[in-house]
Structure 1
Amino acid sequence: MTTRLDLSDLRLFLHVAETGSITAGAGRSHLALASASARIRSMEDALGVALLLRERRGVQLTEAGRALLHHARTVHQQMDRMRDELSEYAHGLKGHIRLLGNTAAISEFLPDALGAFLAKNPYIDIDLEERLSHEIVQAIVDGVADIGIVADSVPTGSLETISFRQDRLVAVLPRKHALARRKALQFAELMDKNFIGLSNGSALQEHLAGHALRAGKRLQYRVRLRSFDGICRMVERDVGIAVIPETAALRCKKNMEINCIPLSDPWAKRQLLICVRSREELPGHTRQLLEQLTELK
C-alpha cells in the first residue's frame, strides 16, 4: 500500500513538533483543533505507527515521530530552495524565512531592518518569533528556523555566528528614586523591589527570573505590559522599577521623568550574535536577509 503525506500534513506536523502542542500547532497552521487532530491521526494510520505521545501538558515525539520530523524539515528546506531558484521566473511563488530572536533583537533592532527588507522583497514572507537564546540555538541546530539572534552568553556549538549588536540591560527608575543617582547597580540590589515587566512568555522576563532564582529570589511584578514604552510610563509614575535594554530606556528617557542606571553584573552586558547552521546551505533569499542584517552593525 502506498502511503501519501502532502506538504500541508508535513507542515502541520512540523508546527506541532516545534510547539509541543497540537493546539498550538493547529493555530500556526490556521486549522481548527479538531481538524488538526484528525489529520495527525490520519498520518499515524497511514504510516501504521504512533508519531506522538499525548500527555496532559502537550505532546512528545516518538522515535518514529523524530524520524518523520527530520524528513519533514528536509522536504521544507528543499521547497524553500526551489522557491528561491524559481522566483525570478515565477514571481507568484512566495519565499519563507524563519527567524528567531530574543526580546532585545525583536523589539529594538529588527523592526527597521525587516521593514526595509520586506519592502524591497514583496515575494518573501518572514515568520518571526521570540524565544530564549538557548532555545533559539537548539532550533537552529534542529533546522526548525533559518536564522537566530542570540546573546553571546549561550554556547552556540558548531553553528556559524556573526556579531550583530551590543545589548546592555539597565535599571529604569523614577528620577526621584533613592537609587536613581547611582552610576551603576547590581541586580541583587533590585530583586526585593516591585517590578514592572513584559507580558508572560517574554524571553527577557524569563532571563531575569532565571538570574533571580539562582540568587534564591523571586521577582515581584505589580503589572506586566506589552511594550517598553508602557513599562517606562509605569516606572515614571512610581509604580515600580524595571530592567530593560538600554536602547529602549534611552529612547523613553527623552520624554519621561526616568533615569537609566547600568547593571554591573557581567551577564547584563551582552553581544548579540546572528547564528545559522551554514551560510552556504541557506536559500538565496535567506542569505540576502543575512547580508542585510550584517551590514547594519
Structure 2
Amino acid sequence: MHYDLTDLRLFVAIAEARNLTRGAERVHLAASSASHRMRLLEASIGTPLLVREPRGVSLTRAGDALLRHARQVFAQLEQMHADLTPYAKGVRGHVSLWANTHATHAFLPDSLAAFLKRHPQVSISLEEHTSPEVVMAVARGEVEVGVVAESIEGAEVELLPYRADRLVLIAPADHPIAQRTRTPFAAVLDYPFVMLHSGSAIHTFTMNAAAALGRHLEVRIQVRSFEAVCRMVSAGVGLGLVPRSALADGPPREPLAVIELEEPWAQRDLKVCVRKREQLSRFAADLVACLTGSGADLP
C-alpha cells in the first residue's frame, strides 16, 4: 500500500484541528481538494478514518492508529534530516558515545572539546547511562565507544584506562558528621541527601547502593549538576555524594566537609569501553586514542 507524505501531513493537520477546512488551511490546500484526498486515502486503506460531523470531524479507531503512526513517521523524518544535515556542512564522520554521570560531568567536556578541535569533520552524540547499560550496549554493538566505572562479568568488551577518581561524601561544616575523616556508607543513611536528578546514572547507582544495604535513601532535593549539589549541601539542605574531581575547581561559597567513604565502590576508576578495538571505525578509533592517550591525539 502506498502512502503519500502530502496526504499524511494533511491527515495530521485535520486530526489536530478536528476540522477539515482548518486542517486544509494549515497545509495550504483548498477544502475541496483536502476532502477529495481524504476520501481517496480512506478508499486506499479500506476503512473510514474520519467521522464527518456538523461542526468538524472526529477520528475513528483506524484514524487514531494512523495519527499515531503518522506522527512517528514525521518524527523519524525530522531525525533523519538532523542526522544528514551535518554531512551537508562538511562533517564526514559521526561517533556515538555513551558514558556514566561521573565521566559526562567531570572529564568528558574537556576531552571531547580537545578531540573535536583536532577533528572538525567529526560529530559526536553523547548520552548518559549507567555503567552496566553502557557496557551491555557496547557488547551488543549498539554503541561503538563507552566510558564506564564498572564492568559486567562475562560481557565481551575491552576496557582501557581513562581517568582515576573517587566518590566522596560532602556535608555542611556544622553537620554532626563533619568532624569525621572516614565513614561507612551505612552510617550516613539516616540523613537526607542532595542528589542529581532521577534518571542520572549516579542517582541510580547511589539508590542501588542503599538498597543493597536494605535501606532507603531519603532524597530531599534533586538538581542538575555536581556544582548545584555542592551549593545545596553548603546551604545545609543535606549530604551529597560527588566525585572528588567535582571539588577541584575551588571551594563553594560556604565551606564543606569532605569525608572519605570506606566502601570499595567509592573508587571510580573510569575506563573506555569498546567491543573490539581493531574493529572500530576510523573516527571511533581516533576518539579512543584521544581518550586513552594511546596515540598522537592526547586530550
Q: TM-score, normalised by structure 1?
A: 0.68
Offset at residue 154 of structure 1 (A): 3.6
AA aligned opposite 1:228: F
Q: Equivalents in 2 of 1:153, 1:178: separation in Å? A: 35
Residue equivalent to 2:115: 117
Residue equivalent to 1:152: 150
Q: Equivalents in 2 of 1:192, 1:224: separation in Å? A: 18
* 1:103-141 C-alpha deviation (Å, 9 max, x unpaired): 111100100010111122222110101111111111001
Please tell me whether the aligned partners of residues 200 and 224 of structure 1 are also in contact (alpha carbons under 8 angstroms). yes
Q: 1:239 aligned to 2:237?
A: yes
Please tell me whether the aligned partners of residues 230 and 252 of structure 2 are also in contact (alpha carbons under 8 angstroms). no
Residue equivalent to 1:18: none
Q: 1:266 aligned to 2:268?
A: no
Report the 3-state secondary structure (helix = DSSP H, G, I; strand = E; otherwise coil) of the residue aligned with 1:244.
strand
Between 1:204-213 and 1:152-161, the stretch displaced more is: 152-161
Residue equivalent to 1:139: 137
Q: Equivalents in 2 of 1:91, 1:291: separation in Å? A: 25
Residue equivalent to 1:171: 169
Offset at residue 155 of structure 1 (A): 3.0
* 1:60-94 C-alpha deviation (Å, 9 max, x unpaired): xxxxxxxxxxxxxxxxxxxxxxxxxxx9xx98353
Offset at residue 157 of structure 1 (A): 2.7
Please tell me whether the aligned partners of residues 253 and 259 of structure 1 are also in contact (alpha carbons under 8 angstroms). no
Match of 2:287 among 266, 284, 289: 289
Q: 1:180 aligned to 2:178?
A: yes
Offset at residue 190 of structure 1 (A): 1.3
Offset at residue 158 of structure 1 (A): 2.3
Q: Equivalents in 1 of 2:244, 2:68: separation in Å? A: 41
Match of 1:35 among 66, 70, 77: 70
Please tell me whether the aligned partners of residues 191 and 217 of structure 1 are also in contact (alpha carbons under 8 angstroms). yes
Offset at residue 215 of structure 1 (A): 1.2
Please tell me whether the aligned partners of residues 99 and 146 of structure 1 are also in contact (alpha carbons under 8 angstroms). yes
Q: What are the within-5 Å matches in structure 2 for residues 1-297 of structure 1?
A: 34-35=69-70, 37-38=72-73, 92-152=90-150, 154-155=152-153, 157-253=155-251, 255-295=253-293
Unpaired runs of at least 5, structure 1: 2-31, 41-86
Percentage of pairs with the same residue: 37
Report the 3-state secondary structure (helix = DSSP H, G, I; strand = E; otherwise coil) of the residue aligned with 1:163.
strand
Distance 1:133 1:33, change over 3 A: farther
AA aligned opposite 1:99: L
Q: Equivalents in 1 of 2:151, 2:93: separation in Å? A: 32
Distance 1:120 1:201, change over 3 A: same
Larger radius of gyration between Structure 1 and Structure 2: 2
Please tell me whether the aligned partners of residues 130 and 202 of structure 1 are also in contact (alpha carbons under 8 angstroms). yes
Q: Equivalents in 2 of 1:33, 1:101: separation in Å? A: 32
Please tell me whether the aligned partners of residues 153 and 270 of structure 1 are also in contact (alpha carbons under 8 angstroms). no
Q: Equivalents in 1 of 2:137, 2:178: separation in Å? A: 40
Offset at residue 160 of structure 1 (A): 1.4
Offset at residue 256 of structure 1 (A): 3.5
Q: TM-score, normalised by structure 2?
A: 0.68
* 1:2-55 C-alpha deviation (Å, 9 max, x unpaired): xxxxxxxxxxxxxxxxxxxxxxxxxxxxxx964354589xxxxxxxxxxxxxxx
Q: Equivalents in 2 of 1:33, 1:251: separation in Å? A: 48
Offset at residue 235 of structure 1 (A): 0.6
Q: Equivalents in 1 of 2:283, 2:193: separation in Å? A: 41
Report the 3-state secondary structure (helix = DSSP H, G, I; strand = E; otherwise coil) of the residue aligned with 2:165.
strand
Unpaired runs of at least 5, structure 2: 2-66, 76-86
Please tell me whether the aligned partners of residues 171 and 262 of structure 1 are also in contact (alpha carbons under 8 angstroms). yes
How many residues are treated as equivalent by the alignment? 222
